[in-house]
Chains A and B, each alone.
Chain A
Amino acid sequence: MNYQAIRAAVENPLLSAFSALVPAVPVYFDNITAVPPNTTTEYVRVNVTFGITNEPTLTSSVDNARGAIVIRIFTEKGRGPARNQTLLTTAVNVLEALNNNTKGTTGVYFKVGEITGPTFSATEESPHFVGRIETSYVATVLS
């Protein structure tokens, strides 16, 4: 099992997509807490979790990891949902594009399931309006 390769399969395309925006939107992944706590600056947080690592079959144990991807988009509160939804669209496009990849003989074959959300929240104390989507994934390590 190659957890790093699985993470990279989803994190790299998301990082590229948000970095390509003008202005670029910072993306924070698991175990990175460099988010300024009291800022109105917009940013994206991506959490990749692992539910199971392999699936035993009748003939062998397949390295099929399953888990969840949760993407939270933080934009300025009090300015409507438009900007948040624009950034959510970027994230959704990346996730949907992952399913266009064909299965090769090496690397990681990554497929996402249905995308739930977005759900939106804005608490009184937080300066941010938060949009959240989540999806399941199955990643097969081929080599």
Chain B
Amino acid sequence: MARNQLPKALQELDRVFATTLFNGPKSAAERVVRELQQAGPSWTGKFSNSWQIETPTNTVKGDGQPGEPRPISTPAVTGRQVTASFLRQDKVVFRISNFSTYAAEATDEVQSTFIRPKDAPRPQTQLGLRKWEQEETTRLRNTYRGQTSGGRPNGSASRTAPLDWLATYAAGGALNRAVKLEMDAALRNPR
């Protein structure tokens, strides 16, 4: 290789390195968030717009506002930035989390008392309306979000995602499939 071609080759290598090592997982993480938004509960929409992706270089957050789920997108990075991240952290880590104040209730982690808001008696999003499951009983007093039965008759307990939806998503193969598919695509087509 001629000497004056080396910088260009390094640039190209940098671009390919970033694409294969970072942008595959980046696409996967964005896709996982989209799938989590669809799988999780949606009443006002605040929870599904409160996902965040922590990348090796920054954190990208949803806006936390009501409405239909809006995708979040992480910026592309250079290979040098990825390399620096590798050196600092052993591996590229994409952490996906939810910053909603009631994330623990929404993900069935803790019990709570659920009262339907007077100004939002039914799901405010099309997604929530599509997934709305209603019971003809009340809720038990302290219960998990997804547990809607067991109370008194003539009630109207409801939910917009089944109990343990997050555990099911994480364990049920969808997460692995998303990561694997995106990684496969990135490794096949480095751009």
Quick one: which of A89-143 are within 8 Å of B by CB? 113, 119, 121, 123, 125-126, 130, 132, 134-137
Quick one: which of B133-170 are within 8 Å of A by CB? 140-142, 147, 149-150, 162-164, 167-170
Roughly how many angstroms separate A142 CA and B107 CA in the complex, as a whole number?
33
Interface size on B, residues (CB 8 A): 24
Contact of B164 among A35, A38, A47 (CB under 8 A): A47
Majority SS at the chain B contact face: loop
Contact of B167 among A38, A52, A68, A123 (CB under 8 A): A68
Q: Decide if A67 is an interface residue (CB 8 Å cutoff).
A: yes
Known contacts A33-B149, A37-B141, A38-B141: A50-B172 contact under CB 8 Å: yes
Interfacial chain A residues near B112, Cβ < 8 Å: 123
Closest to A74 in B: B111
Q: Is A51's CB under 8 angstroms from B169's CB? A: yes
Q: Decide if A25 is an interface residue (CB 8 Å cutoff).
A: no
B residues contacting A by CB (< 8 A) are 104, 108-113, 140-142, 147, 149-150, 162-164, 167-174
The list of the 3 closest CB pairs from A to B, nearest first, reads A51-B172, A136-B171, A33-B150
A residues contacting B by CB (< 8 A) are 31, 33, 35, 37-38, 47, 49-52, 55, 66-68, 70, 113, 119, 121, 123, 125-126, 130, 132, 134-137
Identify 15 residue pairs between A and B in the complex whose beta-carbon atoms are under 8 Å apart, listed by A's number.
A37-B141, A37-B150, A47-B164, A49-B163, A49-B171, A52-B173, A66-B171, A67-B171, A68-B164, A68-B171, A68-B172, A113-B171, A123-B112, A126-B142, A130-B111
